[in-house]
């Protein structure tokens, strides 16, 4: 029928309908040969038509329902791959709904919980869920109102997936919503939907993740992405709310020390990008950052987090730049570096690599000198003396990296002195 009546999908649907009716009444399971025939039957239209057309075949899901679960899943995977490979875009809520009907086997645990047996560590399962995630890119409408409805539809379907699936399916959904935010932003007054409602959708969607097996680090990262978007829209309250949620998750659930270091880098980096904070909110969040920094497990990590905090006091705009606070921050970092050195010395009788921290902090001072903060000159001099001292007293060659780093730093200063920026560096003797 597909070949003979190419333009008439209703005839194809008739065939499928007939098949479903005849086989649907049977109670015994299909034998492998029959299953193979059914798969061939279902694949034929896929080869001939685009997926949007296939979706109009109302009897298609009925025939799919005849198949065993794992064969149904394979069929669903074939359909998704067909969308992705052909680049077909589904742009209406009805189409999206229908598609999810077709691929239901991958989306939920099933009416009788057949899929509950699925092993989330199984590679096939993960591949399938990744495919479902990628499918989101093809569910899109340029009409903002429709796009928002599509997002709600997707969210509703994914909601039936349970903890095994949500951590694969919600992050792509969240990024789709972030893309929508950009479009709404660009539309400005012409937009038919409220940007705050999209942020509401975002916040609600992310909040579901912690209770559904999503690693807390990932939830924090998603919240910070939302924060960046809110900052661009200059929505300070929404921005603050995202940060608050992120800090809550960090405090309550991020316990691995490596993950804490990484998360704090993202908090600090994101905050540095956020220019729409008022002074009070800004101070409150900076305070949180510095507190969490001091609670990191290892002293070198504390030191590094402390010196990148200095950037929080030197924002993009001049009125967000406080040279004194930068100095205080770096001074605190130096203190921790000293402590780290002592801890390492006591533990192993050797430096353990913590003298490199002094060179790192020196480089930070140089950053601010370059940015126009002249108050850093005295500490720079002292630090350079200290470092030179350390190098002169080096016993083992394990600190070779530190010496190379320091030499490179000196070369940097020399090159800057010789450049048009040279006057800033006059105060340093090399």
Partner 1 sequence: KIQHILCTGDLCIKEMHDYLKGICSDLHIVKGEFDESNYPETKVLTVGSFKIGICHGHQVIPWGDIESLAMLQRQLDVDILVSGHVTSQVAGEKDKERKQCKVLKYEDRLLVNPGSATGAYNGITHDVKPSFVLLDIAELKVDAYVYELVDGDVKVEKVDEFVRKQ
The least CB distance from residue 348 to partner 1, in Å, is 22
Beta-carbon contacts of residue 268 (< 8 Å; ≥ 6 apart): 289, 305, 308, 309, 311, 312
Listed residue (298, 222, 295, 220) closest to 263, CA to CA: 220
E strand or H helix at 177, and its extent? helix 162-187
Pick the closer one to partner 1 by CB: 50 or 127: 127
196 vs 272 by CB, closer to partner 1: 272
Task: Find the shortest distance in angstroms from Cβ 85 to partner 1.
Answer: 14
What is the smallest separation between the CB atom of 263 and partner 1, expressed in angstroms? 11
Based on CB atoms, which residue is closest to partner 1, 194 or 265?
Answer: 265
| Min CB(409)–partner 1 separation in Å | 6
Q: Which residue number, 272 or 325, has a Cβ lying nearer to partner 1? A: 272
3-class state of residue 321 by DSSP: strand
Residues that bind partner 1 (CB under 8 A): 123, 126-127, 130, 133, 171, 175, 178-179, 182, 215, 218, 221, 224-225, 228-229, 262, 265-266, 268-270, 272-273, 308, 311, 316, 356, 359-360, 363-364, 366-367, 370-372, 401, 404-405, 408-409, 411-412, 415-416
Tell me how far apart the alpha carbons of residues 393 and 356 are, in angstroms, rounded to a whole number. 14
**Shortest Cβ 232–partner 1 spacing (Å):** 8
Q: How far does Cα 21 stand from its chain's mean position?
A: 46
CB of 44 to partner 1, least distance (A): 27
Please answer whether residues 361 and 334 qualify as being in contact, where contact means their C-beta atoms are separated by less than 8 angstroms. Answer: yes
To the nearest whole angstrom, how small is the minimum distance from the Cβ of residue 421 to partner 1? 8
Decide: 273 and 314 in contact? Cβ < 8 Å: no
The tokens for 15 are 């065939």
Measure Cα distances from 147 to 143, 157, 178, 219, 384 in Å: 6, 15, 12, 24, 58
Closest-CA residue to 125 (of 71, 159, 165): 165
> Residues 6 or more apart from 135 whose CB is under 8 A from it?
80, 83, 84
For partner 1, which is the closer residue by CB, 72 or 364?
Answer: 364
Residue (56 or 82) nearer to partner 1, CB: 82
**In this complex, which beta carbon is closest to partner 1, that of residue 10 or of residue 273?**
273
């Amino acid at each position: 029928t597909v070949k003979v009546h190419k333009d008439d999908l209703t005839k194809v649907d008739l065939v499928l309908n007939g098949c479903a009716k005849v086989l649907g009444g049977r109670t015994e399971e299909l034998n492998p040969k029959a299953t193979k025939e059914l798969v061939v039957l279902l694949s034929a239209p896929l080869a001939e038509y685009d997926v949007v057309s296939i979706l109009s075949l109302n009897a298609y899901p009925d025939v799919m329902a005849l198949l065993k679960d794992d064969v149904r899943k394979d069929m669903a995977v074939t359909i998704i791959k067909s969308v992705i490979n052909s680049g077909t875009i589904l742009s209406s809520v009805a189409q999206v709904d229908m598609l999810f009907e077709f691929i239901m086997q991958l989306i939920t645990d099933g009416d009788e919980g057949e899929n509950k047996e699925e092993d989330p560590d199984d590679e096939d399962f993960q591949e399938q869920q990744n495919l479902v995630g990628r499918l989101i890119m093809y569910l899109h409408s340029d009409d903002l109102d429709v796009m928002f409805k599509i997002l709600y539809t997707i969210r509703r379907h994914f909601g039936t997936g349970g903890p095994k699936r949500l951590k694969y399916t919600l992050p792509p959904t969240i990024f789709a919503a972030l893309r929508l935010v950009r479009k709404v932003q660009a539309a400005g007054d012409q937009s038919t939907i409220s940007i705050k409602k999209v942020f509401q959708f975002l916040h609600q969607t992310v909040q579901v993740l912690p209770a559904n097996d999503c690693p807390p680090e990932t939830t924090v990262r998603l919240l910070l992405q939302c924060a960046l978007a809110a900052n661009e829209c200059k929505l300070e309250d929404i921005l603050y709310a995202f940060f608050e949620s992120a800090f809550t998750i960090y405090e309550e659930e991020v316990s691995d020390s490596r993950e804490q270091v990484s998360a704090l880098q993202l908090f600090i980096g994101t905050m540095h990008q956020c220019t729409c904070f008022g002074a009070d909110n800004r101070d409150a969040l900076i305070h949180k950052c510095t507190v969490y920094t001091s609670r990191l497990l290892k002293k070198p990590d504390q030191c590094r987090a402390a010196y990148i905090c200095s950037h929080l006091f030197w924002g993009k705009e001049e009125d967000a730049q406080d040279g004194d606070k930068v100095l205080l921050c770096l001074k605190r970092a130096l203190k921790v570096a000293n402590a780290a050195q002592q801890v390492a010395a006591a533990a192993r009788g050797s430096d353990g690599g913590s003298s490199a921290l002094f060179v790192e902090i020196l480089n930070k001072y140089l950053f601010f000198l370059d940015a126009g903060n002249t108050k850093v000159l005295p500490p720079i001099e002292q630090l350079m003396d200290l470092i030179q001292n350390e190098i002169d007293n080096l016993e083992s060659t394990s600190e070779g990296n530190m010496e190379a780093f320091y030499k490179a730093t000196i070369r940097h200063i020399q090159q800057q002195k010789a450049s048009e920026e040279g006057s800033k560096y006059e105060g340093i003797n090399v």
